[in-house]
Chain A
Amino acid sequence: LAKTTQPISMDSYEGQEVNITCSHNNIATNDYITWYQQFPSQGPRFIIQGYKTKVTNEVASLFIPADRKSSTLSLPRVSLSDTAVYYCLVGVPYTGTASKLTFGTGTRLQVTL
């Protein structure tokens, strides 16, 4: 499974755009990139997933360069409620042992006024 590297923590002010970058130099051809969000005392929650270029949903955008060795989760105009830990995962969706979702250390985002 591709190993991921993320910043341990980030700080932002409310209303700003936040970009969290994840490095995955050993990403394989069939791997997808998935981001989860976890609030204190809750289980992780799926945010977004992509394979290449750009993916956008109502919550975030995911930018993946052509070499796919990194990805950036973009949160537009964060609010206090976006304070959470964000995890980047890389893997092949559900094929044998590569199916398991392996979480790294995540990035702790703190949003303040």
Chain B
Amino acid sequence: DAGVIQSPRHEVTEMGQEVTLRCKPISGHDYLFWYRQTMMRGLELLIYFNNNVPIDDSGMPEDRFSAKMPNASFSTLKIQPSEPRDSAVYFCASSFIGGGSSTEAFFGQGTRLTVV
């Protein structure tokens, strides 16, 4: 498997524009996480899904942020409208439990978002 695939790797956009980040989890994984990383706040969990259903979105900073998982192989994180303070690296991660106890999650390479 190619691992968790995120696109784009880099995104530069102007304030006010809509931004869509994409994630393809590892096939067979039933959990998907979206994280945001900045120097000031570190790694923050934004939202996570189980079997395509959002379980906890308490980390989503504002209504400008939304996430969807229409099927087991695809998820999006959308920011509309974007603001400079949204500039960060956004990571997607996936994992599979299947009755085991491991919390190992596999992370993608991240999308570096810059809002100017």
Docked pose: A103 CA to B43 CA in angstroms: 6
Query: What per-residue 1/0 map shows which CB atoms of A46-66 lie under 8 Å from chain B?
Result: 100101000000000000000
CB distance from A27 to the nearest CB of B (A): 14
Query: What per-residue 1/0 map shows which CB atoms of B47-64 lie under 8 Å from chain A?
Result: 010100001100100000
Q: Which residues of A have CB within 8 Å of B108?
A: 43
Chain B interface bracket (under 10, 10 to 19, 20 to 34, 35 or more): 20 to 34
Docked pose: A91 CA to B103 CA in angstroms: 9
> Looking at chain B's contact residues, is the secondary structure mostly helix, strand, loop, or mixed?
strand
Query: What per-residue 1/0 map shows which CB atoms of A71-113 lie under 8 Å from chain B?
Result: 0000000000000000101010110110111111110000000
Docked pose: A104 CA to B42 CA in angstroms: 8
- For A34, give the chain B residue with the smallest CB separation: B103
Across chains A and B, the number of contacting residue pairs, with CB separation under 8 Å, is 68
Q: Is B56 touching A44 in the complex (CB atoms < 8 A)?
A: no
Q: Is B101 touching A43 in the complex (CB atoms < 8 A)?
A: no
> Looking at chain A's contact residues, is the secondary structure mostly helix, strand, loop, or mixed?
loop
Considering only residues 15-52 of chain B, those with a C-beta below 8 Å from chain A are 31, 33, 35, 42-43, 45, 48, 50
Docked pose: A105 CA to B31 CA in angstroms: 23
